[in-house]
Amino acid sequence: MRVTDPAPNPASVLAAWSAGLRSDDIPGRVRERAGDILLDAIASALAGRPSDEARMIERVARGMGDSREATVIGGQPLSRAGAVLLNGYQVTASTVCDVYRPASCHVSPEIVPPALAMAERLGASGAALLTAVAIGLEVTTRVGRGIRFPAFRKRGWHAPGVIGPFGGAAAVAHLLGLDADRTRNALGLAGSQSAGTQAHYGTPTIKFHQSRGALSGFLAGTLAAEGFIAADEIFANPDGGIFHAYSDGGDPEAVVADLGTDWELERIALRLWPAASSIQSAVGATLDLAGAHDLRPEQVRQLRVFLAPTPYERHGEMGWGTRFEALLSTRYCVAVTLHDRRCWLDQFEPDSLARADVDAFARDHIAVAVADDVTTEGARLEATLVDGTEISVTREVPKGDAADPVTRDELIGKFNAASSGILPDDQRARALELLLGIERVGDVRDLCASLAVPA
């Protein structure tokens, strides 16, 4: 289905497109990209499974119902609502999930958990799950495209909790086979739950927005299936529509322009390293510099990291006293990456944070500064070596961006690293096999069984 003419009612257009879309309508390259994002989301959830905050969410989720019908990725089953809430947090817990940079929105945490729970409930095929995930990703990113992010951000809103529920609702509605009217109601119900502000930045609550956004989308889709009525136009309505209430009126035409031909989900970036999205380039540049010059910490007199103003404001001088802070700290991420020539979760555990060599290097040999000529997503590293040699490297975009995408092999490596110690070896192999061939999976419950930890 293709939409070329802008419409004044983007909710109705998105709903009709979502309800009418079939797997064959999605180009092969887009299905492949959606499959990669699905694989990445599952890997990210496994990576986030051991986090302290995820355990807190799990205790709350277990209190939401006594039923045990829905899979927790890497854990024991919960009620559907509980599993969606917990899986949503796990995907984002370790700062390694995707990001749609035009709206600074982590997307898959709000889409994959509700879609997976509903597909499991229905015994849907892998192709149906993938179609629903693609729809959810596209709806969220298109809402993000239309919301005019600078004005939205100026008001202090955080995108995952505000726009993420729309994609989750659309994915669930599609799996349930809802028609255009009920899908539009699902979008309206999602908008009635849109929330999340930047005031929580630096705390785990900023990640809870993704978790709660996933549950909001699930509730919206299932309630719409009951015939519950919502607003006709949740986006462009001047009296309380999302674009007016959360931004400056937005750009409704951008939401639907070339819908079905220009796939916004292809602009979602993936992350290989557990660090803030804005400093992924700093980590990548560190690995680039170390690889190109066989650079060791003891050779460095000073390492200067240049970031654009916004990333510097958030991450330039962040400390690393806790795991959560370290994941956001430019100094720590660069220092530990240079020392170990890698960047993964074990380097952010208490023992690693207490390493005297990394701590001293981060404090005494790294300087972080603002550079107006560095892109918002990029980074430049300049090193003065002890022998006086000057070397440098610049990254315009991070690894994982659409302009420098991760490979399938790199995603497989991420999945294997994330699942190690969480899933038994035979299940890890089976889960990966099913995810890589998701369109050939007859029943998603087979995939779910491979992701659940045996009792």
Domain of residue 324, CATH code: 3.30.1330.120
The reply to whether 4 falls in a domain is no
Burial environment of residue 221 by CB neighbours within 10 A (0 to 12, 13 to 18, 19 or more): buried
Identify the domain boundary among 370, 395, 420: 395
**Within this chain, do residues 106 and 194 fall inside the same structural domain, yes or no?**
yes
Phi, psi dihedral angles at 258 (to 5 degrees)? 55, 30
pLDDT digits (tens, 9 = 90+) for 257-310: 999 999 999 999 999 999 999 999 999 999 999 999 999 999 999 999 999 999
pTM: 0.95
Question: H helices of 5-71, where?
Answer: 10-20, 28-48, 52-62
**Within this chain, do residues 382 and 414 fall inside the same structural domain, yes or no?**
no
pLDDT digits (tens, 9 = 90+) for 351-360: 999 999 999 9
The reply to whether 2 falls in a domain is no
Give the integer Cα–Cα distance in Å for 91 and 75. 13
pLDDT digits (tens, 9 = 90+) for 398-434: 999 999 999 999 999 999 999 999 999 999 999 999 9
Question: H helices of 226-268, where?
Answer: 242-245, 252-256
Rounded average pLDDT over 65-86: 96
pLDDT digits (tens, 9 = 90+) for 174-200: 999 999 999 999 999 999 999 999 999
The reply to whether 54 falls in a domain is yes
Identify the domain boundary among 395, 419, 438: 395
Give every strand in the sheet of 300-307, ordered side by side. 366-370, 300-307, 379-385, 390-395
Q: Write down the pLDDT at residue 318.
A: 94
**Within this chain, do residues 268 and 308 fall inside the same structural domain, yes or no?**
no
> What letters, b where the CB count within 10 A reaches 16 and e where it falls short, cover 298-331?
eebeebbbbbbeebbebbbebebeebbebbbbbb
What lies within 8 Å, CB to CB, of 177 at 6+ separation is none
Are 171 and 221 in contact by the 8 Å Cβ rule? The answer is yes
Structure tokens at 128: 């149906």
**Within this chain, do residues 115 and 170 fall inside the same structural domain, yes or no?**
yes
pLDDT band, residue 202 (cuts 50/70/90): confident
pLDDT band, residue 6 (cuts 50/70/90): very low
Which CATH number characterizes residue 169's domain?
1.10.4100.10
**Within this chain, do residues 231 and 105 fall inside the same structural domain, yes or no?**
yes
Res 4 pLDDT > 70: no
Q: How many domains does the chain have?
A: 2
Rounded average pLDDT over 68-87: 97
**Within this chain, do residues 356 and 323 fall inside the same structural domain, yes or no?**
yes
**Within this chain, do residues 294 and 366 fall inside the same structural domain, yes or no?**
yes
What is the percent of the chain where pLDDT is above 90? 96
**Within this chain, do residues 255 and 340 fall inside the same structural domain, yes or no?**
no
The reply to whether 1 falls in a domain is no
Cα radius of gyration rounded to whole Å, the chain: 22
Structure tokens at 148: 């005019």
> What letters, b where the CB count within 10 A reaches 16 and e where it falls short, cover 337-351?
bbbbeebbbebbeee
Question: H helices of 49-156, where?
Answer: 52-62, 80-93, 108-122, 126-146, 149-154
The reply to whether 400 falls in a domain is no
Are 71 and 83 in contact by the 8 Å Cβ rule? The answer is yes
The reply to whether 442 falls in a domain is yes
pLDDT band, residue 8 (cuts 50/70/90): low
Identify the domain boundary among 395, 419, 441: 395
Going from the C-alpha of 245 to that of each of 197, 239, 295, the distances in angstroms are: 14, 8, 51
The reply to whether 121 falls in a domain is yes
User: Which structural domain, as residue segments, surrounds residue 22?
Assistant: 10-272+405-451
**Within this chain, do residues 261 and 338 fall inside the same structural domain, yes or no?**
no
**Within this chain, do residues 420 and 350 fall inside the same structural domain, yes or no?**
no
Q: What angle do CA 345, 293, 374 make, to 5 degrees?
A: 70
**Within this chain, do residues 24 and 170 fall inside the same structural domain, yes or no?**
yes
The reply to whether 369 falls in a domain is yes
Are 83 and 117 in contact by the 8 Å Cβ rule? The answer is yes
**Within this chain, do residues 348 and 420 fall inside the same structural domain, yes or no?**
no
Q: What angle do CA 234, 236, 237 make, to 5 degrees?
A: 70
